[in-house]
Structure 1
Amino acid sequence: RLVPLKGLGRRLENDLVRADIPLKGEEFAAFVILAFVAAALLGLLVFGSVLNACLLAAPAAAAPVFYLRMAKARRLAAFNGQLCDALAMIANTLRAGFSFLQALEMVRKELPDPISKEFGRALQDLNLGVSVEDALQSMVERVKSDDLDLMVTAVIIQRQIGGNLAEILDKIAETIRERVRIKGEIKILTAQGRISGLVVGLLPIGLLMVLLLINPGYMQDLFNNPMGIKLLAFAAVSEAIGLAAVKRIMNIEV
């Protein structure tokens, strides 16, 4: 009520759903603000310096956001890892003479989370009268998986023009397995570059924090002098550009 968080909360809502974190967007934004304020007050009481308090509060506020991104990426990876099994189960269920909705129900019952929860939400939409195409498209919007988008597109096309859906799903599963294999090889080949970029990017920040804790007076001129503040700003911008460049180079789309 004190801080207008509705706009920010709406932007965070989809990320929280994809990460399977049972919080509203406004609640998560308020938690980040409270973490920043609490860490700033703690730093002010311990160090007695506004600058040191801000240096302590910034990581405290960034930690929930970092956790949200990690949880979202981890859940997406788990979903993609289960998708091939789901496609095989749907194809086998269709060959056994069951309907497509019964195949979705089988996936919801037999496979673990997170894929069972997402297919369960799609079945809930279908039970509420939503069409199959809209329910599957809503699932794609929630999950944001390229592999799931490929599957849903094939299902929608098959429902419009006909064809053997079980055979189509088998081919999609084979394509997804090949993509996963290629992504694994790329990840292995680029591991050294990604770790090197991370170490080089975090080393100056870690060294600055250590020097501030060991000998704060040694670094005071850098913060009190206008030229020192400009150098720090230039260093921060250079760090951000370097990390973004390394991430862009190492991120190979398959």
Structure 2
Amino acid sequence: MSAAPLAGLAAAVAVLALWEALAAIEGRVPADGLARLLRPLARAGRDGREPTPPERRRLALVGTATLCAGGWLVGGPLAALVAGAGGPIGAGLLLRRRRQRYRAELERAAPAVARSLADALGAGHAVSGALVETARGLEGAARTELDGAAAAIAVGEPVDAVLERLRARAGGQAWDTLVGAILLQREAGGDLATLLRELAGAQEEAQRLLDDARAATAQARFTGGVVTVLPAGAAALAELASPGALAAVAALPLAAWLAGFALFLQAIALVAIRRLSRVRA
């Protein structure tokens, strides 16, 4: 066997040995280290927690390294640099998306929370006790938030402050109305259990209407998205059928300018379709 294959094999074994040595020094396998870096992302979707600035920086570094590796494999060093520049932005967008999903889950749980609170109040509990009882019968994001609220009340925080923090974390109209009804009843009095049951019914009806609207526009949104990405798919197929076709187009100034302007218009069309077809609460 020649020296070159042996040198390549030795380099590969050295990389693996170094990786295992680092893992042994840390006392954990490499997968655990990666899981630790991505844990803030999981918490954002599971508990709605905002990552700390150091955690955000680590996520940005992981995103940059991942995109650089993908760009290198696809297009070489230049593509790696261009793709890696989007690492911090991609990490931020992913965190935002996870947080939005968490809040959407909370929003859908608001009618069930209102109905459970009404039942607990009807059984004779105060608002603080009703929060504890309601949390026991829920799952997911709503239980996480109500468990936190009940724990804060148990250590002596004012109920009004806890409810206001719960409303701010939920960030939705349904929770604004729910917390507002509870706080108004604490100031002015009234039959809060009946009010919460009526509120739960109204919110459930509103959610049904939103679901119907999304279902009615789903086909139009999908068709619009497909139409806007068809030119990119056609360009990829042309490159596969005739390697170098895109490079030949880019070599001509007028053709490159027209292609870039077409991509710009496609991006505008995609954003316009998303905005026109968005269903808001």
For residue 50 of structure 1, the aligned residue among 78, 81, 86 is: 78
Which shifted more, 101-110 or 18-27? 18-27
Contact preservation (8 Å) 1:16, 1:68:
no
The code of the aligned residue for 1:29 comes to A
SS in 2 for 1:190: helix
| Aligned mates of 2:189, 2:139 — CA distance in 1 | 31
Which shifted more, 61-70 or 97-106? 61-70
Matches within 5 A, 1:135-146: 135-146=162-173
- After superposition, the Cα gap between the structure-2 partners of 1:143 and 1:213, relative to the gap in structure 1 and judged at 3 Å, is farther
The code of the aligned residue for 1:94 comes to L
The code of the aligned residue for 1:50 comes to L
- Counterpart of 2:272? 245
How far residue 29 of structure 1 moved from its aligned partner, in angstroms, is 2.0
TM-score by structure 1 length? 0.78
- After superposition, the Cα gap between the structure-2 partners of 1:124 and 1:49, relative to the gap in structure 1 and judged at 3 Å, is same
- Counterpart of 1:166? 193
Matches within 5 A, 1:144-159: 144-159=171-186
- Counterpart of 2:69? 38
| Alignment RMSD | 3.2
- Counterpart of 1:123? 150
How far residue 181 of structure 1 moved from its aligned partner, in angstroms, is 1.1
The code of the aligned residue for 1:122 comes to A
How far residue 69 of structure 1 moved from its aligned partner, in angstroms, is 5.1
Which shifted more, 207-216 or 29-38? 207-216
Which shifted more, 29-38 or 225-234? 225-234
Matches within 5 A, 1:1-254: 17=44, 20=47, 24-44=55-75, 48=76, 50=78, 67-68=94-95, 70-254=97-281
Q: What percent identity do the matched residue pairs reach?
A: 25
- After superposition, the Cα gap between the structure-2 partners of 1:66 and 1:207, relative to the gap in structure 1 and judged at 3 Å, is farther
The code of the aligned residue for 2:152 comes to D
- Counterpart of 1:8? none
The code of the aligned residue for 1:160 comes to E
Count the aligned residue pairs: 238
How far residue 90 of structure 1 moved from its aligned partner, in angstroms, is 0.7
- After superposition, the Cα gap between the structure-2 partners of 1:68 and 1:213, relative to the gap in structure 1 and judged at 3 Å, is farther
| Aligned mates of 1:229, 1:73 — CA distance in 2 | 38
How far residue 187 of structure 1 moved from its aligned partner, in angstroms, is 1.2
Which shifted more, 146-155 or 226-235? 226-235
Contact preservation (8 Å) 1:32, 1:64:
yes
How far residue 242 of structure 1 moved from its aligned partner, in angstroms, is 1.1
Residues 165-209 of structure 1: CA deviation (Å, up to 9, x unaligned): 111111211110111111111112111211111111222233333
- After superposition, the Cα gap between the structure-2 partners of 1:141 and 1:198, relative to the gap in structure 1 and judged at 3 Å, is same
Contact preservation (8 Å) 1:35, 1:61:
no
Contact preservation (8 Å) 1:87, 1:169:
yes
| Aligned mates of 1:123, 1:191 — CA distance in 2 | 39
Contact preservation (8 Å) 1:87, 1:173:
yes
Which shifted more, 123-132 or 16-25? 16-25
- After superposition, the Cα gap between the structure-2 partners of 1:72 and 1:19, relative to the gap in structure 1 and judged at 3 Å, is farther
Give unpaired runs (5+ residues) of structure 2: 1-39
SS in 1 for 2:157: coil
How far residue 118 of structure 1 moved from its aligned partner, in angstroms, is 1.1
- Counterpart of 1:5? none
Contact preservation (8 Å) 2:107, 2:170:
no
| Aligned mates of 1:56, 1:206 — CA distance in 2 | 20
Give unpaired runs (5+ residues) of structure 1: 1-12
- After superposition, the Cα gap between the structure-2 partners of 1:39 and 1:17, relative to the gap in structure 1 and judged at 3 Å, is same
- After superposition, the Cα gap between the structure-2 partners of 1:118 and 1:174, relative to the gap in structure 1 and judged at 3 Å, is same
